[in-house]
Amino acid sequence: MSEPEVIRHFTRLSQETYAVDLGTYPLGSCTMKYNPKIAEAAVQTHKLEKLHPEQEESTVQGILALLYNLSQNLAEITGMSKITLQPAAGAQGELTGVLIIRAFHQEQGHLQDRQEMLIPDSAHGTNPASAAMAGFKVVVIPSDSEGMVDLNALREAVGPKTAGLMITNPNTLGIFEKNILDIAKIVHEAGGLLYYDGANLNAILGKVRPGDMGFDIVHLNIRNTARRRRTGCWASRCYQATRTIPPDSLNRLQWQEILFRLRRRPIHRKDQILQREHRGTS
């Protein structure tokens, strides 16, 4: 094929791809939302672009300080006490939270009994998958006539088998769960933990904190919360926060199991080359 034919082919393919520069995404995944151009330019600066996970600590104090300050701010925003920056995507953030719930009940000695994860039918669609991957049986809680969690159905569903409840607030219907304090009380009295999916956190940001609503675990989609009008993940990275589960309640092996089950980004050949260049070796 000639050069003009190749160029025309790929140019035509690019024109067939729908993009936010051409129109609005009414609803979609984290990567299908608006990313400000200034944010894209910021993450492409050489001070960030050339960083490598295996660099010496003395050479990455700037990014470590940035991440530490970020974690402190996120803890304050969510009303949580601890933050982990380990999860690399929204799905991993969910899985991390559910695995923490699993490890908590295991430490308490009743994981064998608590095998059910309650999920409203108005929850984020990935919640059932994350719960199932963690080994829980999914129990769907129906909505009432107002599109919120049916409290009577919730009371009937909770019990000694309940590990926790995963919920988005506002929910996927865009409705704020005004009975969230009652929901938290019902779940906690049954011995379960309350998990907050942060997909729609920007709707309540600065007005109320998940921790103040009774949530024990939160995962944040930073890009949709802090950088744009709706939802998503900042640089495909999400964060996990915990409030009522102190790290000391989980032993080292349990934390290792949680982290092991999260897929980490592989170090590609290009990264290895950049690493050698940074260290001045060839």
- Per residue in 155-211, pLDDT (tens digit) is 999 999 999 999 988 888 888 999 999 999 999 999 999 999 888 887 888 888 999
Confidence of residue 73 (pLDDT cuts 50, 70, 90): confident
Q: Which residues of 132-152 are buried (b: 16+ CB within 10 A; e: fewer)?
A: eebebeebebebeeeebbbee
pLDDT at 59 over 70: yes
Q: Tell me the residue length of the chain.
A: 282
How sure is the predictor about 247, in pLDDT bands with cuts at 50, 70 and 90? very low
pLDDT the model gives residue 230: 32
| Phi/psi of residue 140, nearest 5 degrees | -85, 130
Question: What is the mean pLDDT of the segment spanning 216-224?
Answer: 78
Instruction: Kindly report the average pLDDT of the chain as a whole number.
Output: 78
Is residue 92 predicted with pLDDT exceeding 70?
yes
Kindly state the tokens that stand for 172.
């996927």
DSSP string for residues in 102-149: HHHHHHHT-TTT--EEEEETTS-TTHHHHHHHTTPEEEEEPB-TTSSB
Is it the case that residue 81 has pLDDT exceeding 60?
yes
Higher per-residue pLDDT: 140 or 86: 140
Question: Domains along the chain?
Answer: 57-260 (3.40.640.10)
Q: Are 220 and 241 in contact (CB under 8 A)?
A: yes
